[in-house]
Amino acid sequence: MTSSALPRDAGPDGARVVATLRTLADMTSDDAGAQRVAWTDTWQRARAFLRQQLQELSLAVRTDAAGNQWARLPGGGSGVVIIGSHLDSVPDGGWLDGAYGVMCAVEVLRSLAARGPLPCTLALVEWADEEGARFGHSLFGSSAVAGTLNVAEVRELADASGLLLGDVVAEHGVHLDRLDEARQEIYGARAYLEAHIEQGPVLEREGLPIGAVSGTVGVERHRVTFRGQTAHSGSTPMDIRRDAFLAAAATALAVRESAVRHQGVGTVGAARLRPGIVTAVAGETAILVDQRHPDAGALQAMLGEVQRASEQAAKAEGCAVRWEPIFRARPQPFTDELVGIVREVCTELTGQQRVLPSWALHDATPMAGAVPTAMLFTSSTKGISHAREEDTPEEHLRLGVEAFYRTVCRVIAWSSGSAVSGQ
Ligand SMILES: [Zn+2]
């Protein structure tokens, strides 16, 4: 049989992806939104639904040492192209975050399974616990596979009811002592590709349904604590107060100013006042500061500016200030050649091209440190995500399926080509 006699696939069916996502949402949401929090029964229901989709394609599903689910469409050669995303959600989350990328990957597997042997293996992965909603640690499964998960750090994490992460994941068949074994999943991997909703307003604002992602931005997260003097709200004259809250408030304004100046983002998402009562000047205030920028130099400049502003504000209010790092991520650029392929596909389908950074972290972030990686975004209505209102026009979702399919086909050719030229 010549290769021209091989059956062509009919291409992906975007409407089927949307229908499958609606079924999943019906199974795993309540009135407040999606409830697929990792390591819960609802999440396991979503994963069983995925297994059912894959078994219909006669593909075996395997769970690795970190709890990620894999299905492989075997092909020639030793190379593997990996596609996927996550099924877990935040509490009261949206129907598309993560699930869209998983169901796009299923549809691409379905199309390519009908085509006949591929020049390399195509693997689908559904990552365990991307959101970190229950234990506060994001990207669990993908960073275990990429080799960047700090086991000692996650071992002691507890959820709101005091249950330890190690004990909870063990109930789901994941043993922290064996987590390292998950790293073998990427042996032979030539590329990782992920489709995802943007979760921001950029594509919608520019009238674009889809876009290529250049990489994920750098993140600096700190706890900043101001210490002044607790005093009576009535009998303490204004000129002798040492108000820790006012120093924190001035710092919060500097977080915004610095982000605007550098075209980054900065957030004070939490503040805790002590004693936190209306009849006392706050003697202590702690704020949580999150700053993000695609450029490492600009991010450090933003951090430096806010640190200086906090010292000035503390001095002006007669307070002391202390900074503690909570979380850091370097800007993670994706692989130029793969980003170029996604951009080319977007241009073909929309007549326009847009390459934008991702201001949220994704499973592609740790993967990009280990394997050539790229992502495709579809627009998000009003930029809202991690909320029940999360949505994307159906025609954009369908176009994203087609774009992801074309990207995967081209990357398979690219990876096989590079494998041959590398011999
Ligand atoms: Zn996500």
pLDDT, mean of each 10-residue run, the chain (423 residues): 49 96 98 97 98 95 98 92 98 97 98 89 97 89 95 86 95 96 95 98 97 96 96 98 98 98 96 97 96 97 98 98 89 97 97 94 96 98 96 98 97 74 25
The CA 296 to ligand 1 mean position distance, Å, reads: 23
The CA 360 to ligand 1 mean position distance, Å, reads: 8
* Tokens 């080509």, residue located: 417
The CA 228 to ligand 1 mean position distance, Å, reads: 40
Q: First and final CA of the chain: distance in angstroms? A: 27
The CA 416 to ligand 1 mean position distance, Å, reads: 29
- Note the pTM of the prediction, 2 decimals: 0.88
Q: What is the pLDDT of residue 187?
A: 93
The CA 362 to ligand 1 mean position distance, Å, reads: 6
What is the 8-class DSSP label of residue 382? G
Q: What is the pLDDT of residue 8?
A: 64
Q: What is the pLDDT of residue 422?
A: 25
Q: What is the pLDDT of residue 3?
A: 40
The CA 223 to ligand 1 mean position distance, Å, reads: 25
74 forms bridges with which residues in the sheet? none
Residue 211 φ/ψ region, left for φ over 0, alpha for ψ in the -120 to 50 degree band, beta for the rest:
beta
The Cα 303–Cα 223 span in angstroms is 12
The Cα 118–Cα 278 span in angstroms is 68
Question: What is the four-CA torsion angle of 216, 99, 16, 118, rounded to 10 degrees?
Answer: 60
3-state secondary structure of 137: coil
163: number of CA atoms within 13 Å, CB side? 12
Q: What is the pLDDT of residue 418?
A: 44
The CA 230 to ligand 1 mean position distance, Å, reads: 42
Query: What is the sign, positive or negative, of the torsion defined by CA atoms of 48, 385, 23, 367?
Result: negative
The Cα 67–Cα 178 span in angstroms is 11
Q: What is the pLDDT of residue 115?
A: 83
The CA 124 to ligand 1 mean position distance, Å, reads: 16
Q: What is the pLDDT of residue 6?
A: 40
